[in-house]
């Protein structure tokens, strides 16, 4: 076989040799050298063709035929570059969009987690109905780890921002305190140094990124002592570059505090006896476990429930909390991506719609082309090309276009993946891992193949009934096949319209949700509010007096900074059951309210309106509080609360309500305002965190760095972080929805574009086909205006059918996306009406040009043609 291949390879050499010998012989017969060569060449034949024929001998039969078809198809497409370009672009758009979305979905829902036993990893927690959170705690975790038999290993962790001081430089970094079982569960090994074990204290392990960015990738940092929140700790290792920490963290689950960026430093999570006792409240912690092989999550959950039932008796102080808690053991993947599954599947469905429209348009183009080639096809059938041969020919052409479309589409998907990751990496779980892998390529390939085969063959459907002689006679313009094709094309366009309407409705509903989310009271101007956080750490803090004194100094410093109109310090203290003197709620029914500490400037910075009562001032002698309107509604059922007294944690006695302020969404844009209490910051036991906010008439960006420097000067060991405008902070809270809207909007836009191209194409075709008829009508007295309205009516019938069908489908489908909407009903009549009218209007516009062309037909010329 090897020899054979060499034989085939050397053919050019053999031919050259042959011609040389012949030339020499010719010279020997007395010819001049150049004549001798010419004669030899003539006797030999065309060397290129012969080399090709010779090589063809070695090719399998079917390959030869496919090559023939392919080269025929290429020639055909080259003759009609507009068709080829339109088809390839249409398909690339459809394939590219769907592939990009698929790669995102695949990364989130299909790709296994990058750990050794992804299927056995579970999230273990208590779901508390009253506090609306799902977490574990230090004592619960320790009990489960000791008593539960379902797990091979269990790790407990919590996330927190801490200060890393190395020499003179302090930074705030995202820490994960985690028990050492994690390394085994995650299958992690150190790239440098080692990872910590159960016996290690006062050590940290860096991620690769932290190692590179903060320590310049210098291997010498292993063994170095740095100050973490003022304590001396040793860097003992660095994690490899491809290590990923994918466990759920507090901020993703709506817990206050916690880290807001990727994990950067790992430290041992040590459960001290104090942490284990439940006498002084419990430390929230999260737990992830590796199930033993063969143990189901349900069985593990039953075991945890047993342990918790016993705990109710062992820890009476926790009885109420445990009674309202339900154990949860779910697959880690489900925990990570479950919440975004619906939105991802909605996007995938939307992408599928775009693919359908793109396919329909491609089919439309193919039909138009089949019409143009009617005579050629008929001729080929007349001279004996079999039906099978024609099918193969169409299929090869379709597949070739689909192939090109697929390649361009994959490039498109690659680019949009990069764009999506850059724009909103936090919007979808594991988005950063999205990329073009084999699953995605397989998907793109299948879509392309389907398009090529299905729609490449579409013209044959309409071709089959045509007698050859008719096709030959008039090129098909008035043949039965011609009108069958027109019917088919109209149906395709109506289908495109319907799908475009569904997508537009979806995008419209999302857009309205967005408008609703951004609705804000007058006076609230997040774009001119700067925010930054300080987390007070180290031995100097931890007592209320030192923290309040820091807050007071920060407030004075920032208020004096140039460009700052008004400043405030504030902090979300926590959430608890409302306790009002003289009000009793049934057990477990007291409304949950948020407590916020604030200085008096808070209301002016965020623009809160005073509804009744008076403002609280800085330096109030007794703790007085303000509540918001939601609080009044939920707790007092709308009755006047001024003068009533509240009980608050950490405040002796009770606090009088002196004023009511308007509602404001400060934390998340996509949640309604919640009942809130404002407490003077001087009277609040703050949990170490101080949020500094300030309003400026200029752009906050301009003054932000100056304010930051001023805050650093107060205490250089407490660097502020999370420096951004409130607008940015709020935008971050709806990143997933923005991501959905962005994609859905892009889909809807391309759907409409494709549908318009479709209706334009069909109208142009109809005009061309009916030129003679139009000419005749005009010859017998029809006016251009009548022709125009006749053609437009024709187009609008197609559009109307599409729009009505689409509206019905949208009504059924948008219900499925109710969870993605905010304060908008899925059948919002305004959106439906706007979308239907808008689409009809654009259709009218798209068909105007061809209709106008029809109205300008010269009767004489039209009748003479053909």
Partner 1 sequence: MSTRADAERIELLQGTLDLLILRTLMPGPAHGHAIAKNIERNSEEVLQVEQGSLYPALHRLIKRGWIAAEEGVSENNRRAKFYRLTPKGRKQLRVETSRWEKMARAIAGILNPAGEEAKP
Q: Which residues bind partner 1 (CB under 8 A)?
A: 3-4, 7-8, 10-11, 13-15, 17-18, 20-22, 24, 42-47, 49-51, 53-54, 56-58
Cα 593 from Cα 635, distance rounded (Å): 9
- Minimum CB separation of residue 23 from partner 1 in Å reads 10
Q: Report CA Rg, the chain.
A: 37
- Minimum CB separation of residue 31 from partner 1 in Å reads 16
**Bridge partners, residue 567, by sequence:** 694
C-beta of 5 vs 310, nearer to partner 1: 5
C-beta of 14 vs 314, nearer to partner 1: 14
What is the separation, in whole angstroms, between the first and last Cα of the chain? Answer: 59
Instruction: Tell how strand 624-628 and strand 655-661 pair up.
Output: parallel
Cα 519 from Cα 528, distance rounded (Å): 16
- Minimum CB separation of residue 37 from partner 1 in Å reads 14
Cα 52 from Cα 106, distance rounded (Å): 45
Element (H, E) at 574: strand 566-577
C-beta of 25 vs 519, nearer to partner 1: 25
C-beta of 58 vs 518, nearer to partner 1: 58
C-beta of 44 vs 848, nearer to partner 1: 44
C-beta of 15 vs 788, nearer to partner 1: 15
- Minimum CB separation of residue 60 from partner 1 in Å reads 11
- b/e per residue 272-296 (b: at least 16 CB within 10 A): eeebeebeeebbbbbbbbbbeeebe
CA–CA–CA angle 144, 145, 150 (5° rounding): 80
Cα 246 from Cα 26, distance rounded (Å): 80
Coil/strand/helix, residue 177: strand
- Minimum CB separation of residue 386 from partner 1 in Å reads 24
The DSSP line for 650-700 is TSSS-EEEEEEE-----S-TTS----EEEEEGGGS---SEEEEEEE-SS-H
- Minimum CB separation of residue 38 from partner 1 in Å reads 13
C-beta of 49 vs 313, nearer to partner 1: 49
- Minimum CB separation of residue 356 from partner 1 in Å reads 47
| 3-state secondary structure labels for all residues of 627-643 | EEHHHHHHHHCCCCCCC
Cα 368 from Cα 389, distance rounded (Å): 21
Whether 428 and 346 have beta carbons less than 8 Å apart is answered as no
Handedness of CA 552, 556, 561, 565 (dihedral sign): positive
- Minimum CB separation of residue 384 from partner 1 in Å reads 21
- Minimum CB separation of residue 61 from partner 1 in Å reads 12
C-beta of 24 vs 772, nearer to partner 1: 24
C-beta of 6 vs 78, nearer to partner 1: 6
C-beta of 50 vs 472, nearer to partner 1: 50
- Minimum CB separation of residue 75 from partner 1 in Å reads 23
Q: Dihedral through CA 3, CA 5, CA 8, CA 11, nearest 10?
A: -60
C-beta of 4 vs 75, nearer to partner 1: 4
For residue 608, the tally of other CB atoms under 10 A from its CB is 23
The DSSP line for 88-151 is HHHHHHHHHHHHHHHHHHIIIIISPPSSS-GGGEEEEEEEETTTTEEEEEHHHHHHHHHH-SSE
- Minimum CB separation of residue 385 from partner 1 in Å reads 23
C-beta of 45 vs 116, nearer to partner 1: 45
- Minimum CB separation of residue 40 from partner 1 in Å reads 9
């Amino acid at each position: 076989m090897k020899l054979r291949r060499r034989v085939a390879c050397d053919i050019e050499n053999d031919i050259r040799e042959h011609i040389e010998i012949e030339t020499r012989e010719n010279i020997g017969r007395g010819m001049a050298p150049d004549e001798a060569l010419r004669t030899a060449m003539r006797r030999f034949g065309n060397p290129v063709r012969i080399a090709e024929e010779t090589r063809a001998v070695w090719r399998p039969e079917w390959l030869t035929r496919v090559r023939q078809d392919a080269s025929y198809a290429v020639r055909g497409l080259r003759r009609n570059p507009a068709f080829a370009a339109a088809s390839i672009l249409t398909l690339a758009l459809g394939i590219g969009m769907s592939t990009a979305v698929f790669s995102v979905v695949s990364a989130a829902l299909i790709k296994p987690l990058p750990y050794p036993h992804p299927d056995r990893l579970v999230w273990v927690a208590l779901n508390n109905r009253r506090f609306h959170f799902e977490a574990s705690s230090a004592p619960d975790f320790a009990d489960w780890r000791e008593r539960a038999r379902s797990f091979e290993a269990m790790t407990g962790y919590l996330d927190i921002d801490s200060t890393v001081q190395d020499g003179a430089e302090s930074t705030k970094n995202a820490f994960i305190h985690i028990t050492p079982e994690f390394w085994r569960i995650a299958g992690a090994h150190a790239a440098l140094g080692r990872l910590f074990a159960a016996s290690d204290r006062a050590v940290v392990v860096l991620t690769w990124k932290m190692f590179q960015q903060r320590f310049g990738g210098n291997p010498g940092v292993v063994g170095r002592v740095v100050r973490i929140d003022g304590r001396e700790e040793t860097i003992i290792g660095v994690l490899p570059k491809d290590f990923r920490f994918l466990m759920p963290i507090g901020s993703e689950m709506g817990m206050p505090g916690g880290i807001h960026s990727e994990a950067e430093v790992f430290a041992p999570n040590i459960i001290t006896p104090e942490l284990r006792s439940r006498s002084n409240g419990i430390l929230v912690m999260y737990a992830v476990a590796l199930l033993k092989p063969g143990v189901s999550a349900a069985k593990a959950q039953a075991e945890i429930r047993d342990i918790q039932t016993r705990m109710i008796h062992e820890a009476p102080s926790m009885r109420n909390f445990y009674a309202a808690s339900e154990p949860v053991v779910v697959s880690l993947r489900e925990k990570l991506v479950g919440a975004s599954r619906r939105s991802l599947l909605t996007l995938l469905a939307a992408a599928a719609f775009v693919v359908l429209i793109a396919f329909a348009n491609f089919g439309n183009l193919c039909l138009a082309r089949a019409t143009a080639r009617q005579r050629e096809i008929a001729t080929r059938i007349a001279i004996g090309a079999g039906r099978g041969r024609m099918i193969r020919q169409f299929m090869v052409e379709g597949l070739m276009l689909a192939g090109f479309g697929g390649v361009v589409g994959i490039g498109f998907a690659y680019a949009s993946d990069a764009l999506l990751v850059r724009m909103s990496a936090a919007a979808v779980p594991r988005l950063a891992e999205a990329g073009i892998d084999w699953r995605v390529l397989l998907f793109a390939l299948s879509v392309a193949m389907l398009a090529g085969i299905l729609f490449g063959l579409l013209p044959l459907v309409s071709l089959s009934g045509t007698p050859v002689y008719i096709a030959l006679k008039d090129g098909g313009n008035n043949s039965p096949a011609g009108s069958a094709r027109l019917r088919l094309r109209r149906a395709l366009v109506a289908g495109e319209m319907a799908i475009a309407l569904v997508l537009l409705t979806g995008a419209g509903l999302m857009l309205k949700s967005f408008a609703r989310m951004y609705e804000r009271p007058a006076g609230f101007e997040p774009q001119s509010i700067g925010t930054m956080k300080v987390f007070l750490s180290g031995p100097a803090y931890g007592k209320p007096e030192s923290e309040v004194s820091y807050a007071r100094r920060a407030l004075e410093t920032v208020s004096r900074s140039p460009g700052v109109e008004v400043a405030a310090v504030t902090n979300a203290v926590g959430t608890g059951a409302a306790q009002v003197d003289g009000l009793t709620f049934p057990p477990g029914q007291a409304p949950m309210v948020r407590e916020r500490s604030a200085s008096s400037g808070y209301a002016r910075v965020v623009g809160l309106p005073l509804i009744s009562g008076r403002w609280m001032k800085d330096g109030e002698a007794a703790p007085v509080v303000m509540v918001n309107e939601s609080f009044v509604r939920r707790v007092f059922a709308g009755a006047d609360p001024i003068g009533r007294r509240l009980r608050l944690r950490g405040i002796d006695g009770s606090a009088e309500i002196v004023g009511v302020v308007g509602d404001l969404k400060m934390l998340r844009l996509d949640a309604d305002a919640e009942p809130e209490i404002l407490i003077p910051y001087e009277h609040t036991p703050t949990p170490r965190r101080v949020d500094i906010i300030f309003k400026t008439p200029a752009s906050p960006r301009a003054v932000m760095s100056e304010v930051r420097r001023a805050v650093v000067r107060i205490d250089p060991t407490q660097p502020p972080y999370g420096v951004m405008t409130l607008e940015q902070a709020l935008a971050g809270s709806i990143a997933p929805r923005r991501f959905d809207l962005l994609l859905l909007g892009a889909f809807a836009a391309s759907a409409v574009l494709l549908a318009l191209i479709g209706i334009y194409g069909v109208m142009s075709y109809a005009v061309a086909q009916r030129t003679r008829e139009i000419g005749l009508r005009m010859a017998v007295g029809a006016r251009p205006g009548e022709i125009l309205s006749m053609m437009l009516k024709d187009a609008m019938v197609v559009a109307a059918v599409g729009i009505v069908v689409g509206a019905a489908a949208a009504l059924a489908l948008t219900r499925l996306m109710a969870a993605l909407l905010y304060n908008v009903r899925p059948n919002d009549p305004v959106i439906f009406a706007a979308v239907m009218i808008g689409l009809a209007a654009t259709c009218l516009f798209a068909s105007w040009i061809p209709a106008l062309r029809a109205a300008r037909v010269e009767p004489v010329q039209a009748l003479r043609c053909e």
